[in-house]
A and B are shown apart, each in its own frame.
Chain A
């Protein structure tokens, strides 16, 4: 399977706990994006990363949320001290580094976070 992979697919946390969401981009892609989707809404941009760099985090809440894309391993979206309002589907997308296709972002299956 050469697609974008996300895990876990479903995550349940109690208020105050930490949530870690993982994303492995498509092979050959070095650009990763995280989006959040509330029920019956479109996706909202959170953060854009390249390997070891955060390029644009303008859509990510300033507190409790962080993201990384290390040199080795998957990209991680981390939510500390989760609250009920964090319950949503979190999608990761990836795109090619440069040339060829412009901004075709391919999405993973998402992680559905439920905060009790």
Chain B
């Protein structure tokens, strides 16, 4: 079974630019989650998509947005990049968020550096 795949693995952008990160979930998983992990810190929940709909959103400004496609893959878009957006962006998938029978499976993330 192929795991969660994210692209690109690394990205360097300039402040004010826009970026799009991509995620392909495990086959059969309908839910996709995005997390931000600043260096050495914890997991900050960004967005949850299930069956193509945004189900929940973390405490992030509107310049963080995304979508889920009919094949359940997902994009995370960040507009007007700021230096503090530099982080590891993790995507996870599951059949249903956080339940005992459907744990989250994470990709290895996209390392975004904003200069």
Same complex for A and B? Answer: no
Residues of B in contact with A (beta carbons under 8 Å apart): none
